């Protein structure tokens, strides 16, 4: 079998991303081979298994995985065309492996950050101590479209704003992890994490007998338990939980239906709900039944046409009045999206220290705020070297990767920056770590990020071991978003 192994590894090299001429390719960190070509400890058992594998069998397994995803219906919608286009998300059969020691540090840092975000949200909707202390400029809140005045003075049940959070991490070296983004509005992707693991267990059961991989299959049970623990005071008996979806045309509808099914709760749309006797109730075969906890996957602006966008047909008229009266828990709490703001992100080190009294365990990527003249001048002078993002952007849209951009694209983005500098932040182009993917010609390195999922309730914080690894399937690409051609991998956190 050894010759097959040789053919597989022959194409692995630590590739250089386009435009990263200032970085030596050998400085790129590959999570399997390290920087010296030696197999790293977390991958040792997997590498031994791989050395015994036939390349033809792996190609067949890769096709089988694609068939499984198609059969299951794991798709997402891509917008921006005349009609939404439904696509199958690419899945790679080579797992990303993280040691238990590496994960322990990440877990501590993630928990610290989520606690700080929740404390920050409570503060800005109440006493605003961080503004009084001068640690955050007033205009970052008062001029922010994601700040909801309707939440001022409002205390969510149990004091929890961020019931479900996704923290996007990138890696640049053996011990160098950075937070790229915080996702507390309506974080998505957990269904892919679960389906990726289920697919790998089905195709390669022998791998899990060789490696002590921490499970992720208990996420739906933990999610339901966490949501139920956040029930409002009006709840009597066992809390009734439901998932609110915008409907089948939403890009993440598959995930909404998947999670409702796995939790054993109802999937509802706005037209299924109404206010009955001061409670939010859903239509059932036995009439309207009160809901205690609503896991909503509808953005703030569409949640309640009486309080937000009057033209919304996706939400529930009057739900915010019931919420303020303590009749329902909305997860995540309205107004949490301000913590996703990329300008707020640039202050996260100060936010973590202000609310925890500790230095951040996980560092931010250095960030220039383009609403500041000195930063804007620097960004404009170095546009071809930087990554520029919209403050409220997501999904890889509205961003510029300077080193990969054409002169025309740079000129167009320069005009955007000059016209609305406060709408953008900029960051250096990092030498992101790579992980091997299985291609037609063998293994090849591709850049990755990681989105761990965090559950928070009055009972505590639960960080799912691993999360969703997103991978840039195109050679040299740094964009991992599925809407931009990225794929996913199963993420293993080892017991030791």
- SS3 per-residue string spanning 281-349: EEEECCEEEECCEEEECCCHHHCCCCCCCCCCCCCCCCHHHHHHCCCCEEECCCCHHHHHCHHHHCCHH
Per-residue pLDDT at 282 exceeds 60: yes
Give the distance, in angstroms, between the CA of residue 280 and the centroid of all CA atoms in the same chain.
29
| Token output for 417 | 């920056």
Q: Is the pLDDT of residue 12 over 60?
A: no
pLDDT band at residue 75, thresholds of 50, 70 and 90? low
At which residue do the structure tokens 């501590």 appear? 108
pLDDT at 13 over 50: no
Mean pLDDT of 275-282: 96
Tell me what pLDDT residue 430 has: 87
Same domain, yes or no, for 401 and 279?
no
For residue 452, being part of any structural domain is answered with yes
3-class DSSP state of 103: helix
258 — pLDDT class (breaks 50, 70, 90): very high
Would you say residue 20 has pLDDT above 70?
Answer: no
Q: So what's the pLDDT on residue 17? A: 34
Q: How far apart are CA 143 and CA 126, in angstroms?
A: 17
Q: Which of 386, 410, 428 is the last residue of a domain?
A: 428
Among the ranges given (101-105, 202-206, 392-396, 445-449), the one the predictor scored with the smallest mean pLDDT: 392-396
- Residue among 65, 128, 97 at smallest CA distance from 338: 128
- Rounded Cα distance between 443 and 8, Å, is 6
When mean pLDDT is compared across 14-18, 232-236, 281-285, the lowest value belongs to: 14-18
Higher per-residue pLDDT: 461 or 82 = 461
Decide if pLDDT at 462 tops 70: yes
Range of the domain at 330: 106-163+210-356
- What separation, in Å, do the N-terminal and C-terminal C-alpha atoms of the chain show? 29
With a cut of 60, say whether residue 16 has pLDDT above it: no
**pLDDT category of residue 59 using cuts at 50, 70 and 90:** very high
pLDDT value, residue 8: 39
**Rounded mean pLDDT, 362-378:** 95
Global pTM reads 0.90
Residues 94 and 113 grouped into a single domain: no
Q: What is the pLDDT of residue 25?
A: 45
Mean pLDDT for 167-191 is 94
Q: Does 194 fall in a domain?
A: no
**Which of helix, strand or coil describes residue 79?**
coil
Q: Could you tell me if 131 and 267 lie in one domain? A: yes
Q: Are residues 128 and 97 in the same domain?
A: no
Neighbours of 407 (CB within 10 A): 8
Q: Which of 412, 428, 444 is the last residue of a domain?
A: 428
Residue 272 lies in a domain: yes
The torsion region of residue 84 among left (phi > 0), alpha (psi -120 to 50) and beta comes to beta
155: pLDDT strictly greater than 50: yes
Is the confidence at residue 308, as pLDDT, over 90? yes
Q: How many CB atoms lie within 10 A of CB 357?
A: 7
Report the alpha-carbon distance of residue 434 to residue 476 in Å, rounded: 10
Taking the CA of residue 416 as centre, how many other CA atoms within 13 Å lie in the half-sphere pointing to its CB? 17
Residue 480 lies in a domain: yes
Mean pLDDT for the chain? Answer: 89
Looking at the structure, tell me whether residues 151 and 248 fall in a common domain: yes
**Residue 325: CB partners within 8 Å, gap ≥ 6?**
278
Residue 259 counted as domain residue: yes
Say whether both 6 and 132 belong to one domain: no
**326 and 470, same structural domain?**
no
Together in a domain, 153 and 242: yes
**Residue written as token pair 């045309």:** 249
Query: Do both 253 and 385 map to the same domain?
Result: no
In the prediction, which pLDDT does 431 show? 86
The residue-averaged pLDDT of 321-335 equals: 97
pLDDT score of 398:
73
Average pLDDT score over residue span 443-451: 94
pLDDT band at 441 (very low <50, low <70, confident <90, very high): confident
What percentage of the chain carries pLDDT values higher than 90? 77
Is the model's pLDDT at 251 over the cut of 60?
yes
Residue 191 has pLDDT above 70, yes or no: yes
Q: Is the pLDDT of residue 3 over 70?
A: no
- The pLDDT-based confidence of 396 (bands split at 50, 70, 90) is low
pLDDT at 134 over 60: yes
C-alpha pair distances (Å), 472 with each of 60, 79, 115, 190, 483: 22, 19, 30, 18, 11
Q: Which of 27-31, 356-360, 479-483 has the lowest mean pLDDT?
A: 479-483
Q: CB under 8 Å to 18, separation ≥6 — which residues?
A: 403, 404, 476
Q: What would the mean pLDDT of 150-168 be, rounded to a whole number? A: 97
Residue 215 lies in a domain: yes
Please report, for the chain, how many H helices and E strands are present, in that order.
Answer: 15, 23
* Same domain as 282, residue 239: yes
Look at strands 329-331 and 293-296 and give their pairing: parallel
Helix, strand, or coil here: 97? strand
Query: Among 25-29, 159-163, 213-217, which stretch is predicted with the lowest mean pLDDT?
Result: 25-29
Query: Is 113 within a domain?
Result: yes
User: Which helix (H) or strand (E) segment is 194 a member of?
Assistant: helix 190-203
Please check whether residue 150 lies inside any domain of the structure: yes
Domain tally for the chain?
Answer: 3
Taken as a whole, the chain contains a residue count of: 496
**Mean pLDDT of the region 133-147:** 92
The reply to whether 322 and 410 lie within a common domain is: no
Structure token digits, residue 167: 């923290």
**Residue 404, pLDDT score:** 86
If asked whether residues 110 and 242 sit together in one domain, one would say yes
CA–CA gap between residue 471 and residue 482 (Å, rounded): 9
End position of a domain, from candidates 323, 356, 389: 356
Q: Is 435 helix (H, G, I), strand (E, B) or coil?
A: strand
Q: What share of the chain in percent tops pLDDT 70? A: 90
The CATH number given to whatever domain includes residue 373 is 3.30.1490.270
Cα(401)–Cα(18) distance, integer angstroms:
10
Q: How far apart are CA 169 and CA 175, in angstroms?
A: 13
């Amino acid at each position: 079998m050894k010759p097959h192994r040789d053919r597989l590894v022959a194409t692995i090299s630590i590739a250089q991303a386009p435009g990263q001429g200032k970085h030596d390719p050998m400085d790129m960190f590959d999570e399997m081979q390290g920087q010296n070509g030696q197999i790293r400890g977390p991958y040792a058992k997997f590498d031994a298994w791989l050395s015994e594998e036939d390349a033809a069998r792996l190609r067949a397994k890769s096709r089988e995985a694609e068939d499984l995803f198609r059969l299951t219906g794991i798709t997402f919608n891509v917008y921006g065309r005349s009609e939404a286009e439904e696509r199958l998300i690419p899945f790679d059969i080579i797992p990303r492996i993280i040691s238990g020691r590496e994960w322990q540090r990440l877990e501590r840092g993630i928990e610290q950050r989520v606690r700080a975000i929740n404390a920050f949200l409570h503060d800005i909707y109440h006493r605003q101590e961080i503004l009084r202390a001068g640690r955050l400029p007033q205009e970052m809140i008062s001029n922010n479209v994601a700040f909801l005045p309707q939440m001022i003075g409002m205390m969510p049940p149990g004091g929890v704003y961020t019931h479900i959070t996704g923290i996007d991490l990138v890696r640049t070296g053996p011990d160098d992890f950075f937070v790229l983004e915080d996702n507390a509005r309506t974080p998505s992707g957990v269904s892919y994490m679960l389906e990726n693991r289920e697919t790998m267990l089905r195709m390669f059961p022998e791998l899990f007998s060789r490696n002590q991989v921490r499970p992720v299959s208990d996420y739906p049970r933990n999610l339901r338990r966490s949501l139920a623990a956040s029930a409002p005071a009006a709840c009597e008996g066992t809390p009734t939980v439901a998932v609110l979806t915008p409907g089948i045309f939403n890009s993440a509808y598959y995930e909404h239906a998947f999670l409702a099914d796995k939790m054993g709760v109802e999937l509802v749309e706005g037209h299924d709900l109404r206010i009955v006797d001061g409670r939010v109730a859903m239509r059932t075969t036995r009439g309207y039944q009160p809901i205690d906890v609503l896991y909503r996957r509808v953005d703030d602006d569409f949640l309640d046409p009486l309080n937000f966008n009057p033209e919304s047909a996706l939400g529930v008229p009057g739900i915010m009045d019931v919420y303020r009266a303590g009749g329902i828990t909305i997860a995540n709490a309205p107004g949490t999206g301000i913590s996703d703001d990329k300008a707020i992100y640039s202050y996260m080190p100060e936010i973590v220290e202000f609310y925890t009294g500790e230095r951040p365990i996980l560092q931010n990527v250095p960030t220039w705020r383009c609403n500041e003249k000195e930063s804007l001048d620097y960004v404009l002078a170095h546009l071809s070297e930087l990554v520029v993002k919209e403050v409220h952007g997501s999904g890889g849209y509205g961003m510029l990767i300077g080193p990969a951009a054409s002169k025309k694209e740079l000129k167009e983005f320069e005009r955007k920056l000059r016209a609305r500098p406060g709408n953008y932040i900029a960051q250096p182009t990092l030498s992101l770590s790579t992980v091997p993917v299985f291609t037609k010609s063998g293994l090849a390195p591709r850049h990755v990020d990681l989105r761990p999922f965090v559950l928070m309730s009055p009972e505590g914080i639960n960080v799912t071991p691993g999360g969703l690894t997103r991978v840039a399937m195109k050679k040299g690409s740094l964009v991992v978003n599925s809407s931009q051609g990225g794929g996913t991998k199963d993420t293993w956190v080892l017991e030791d």
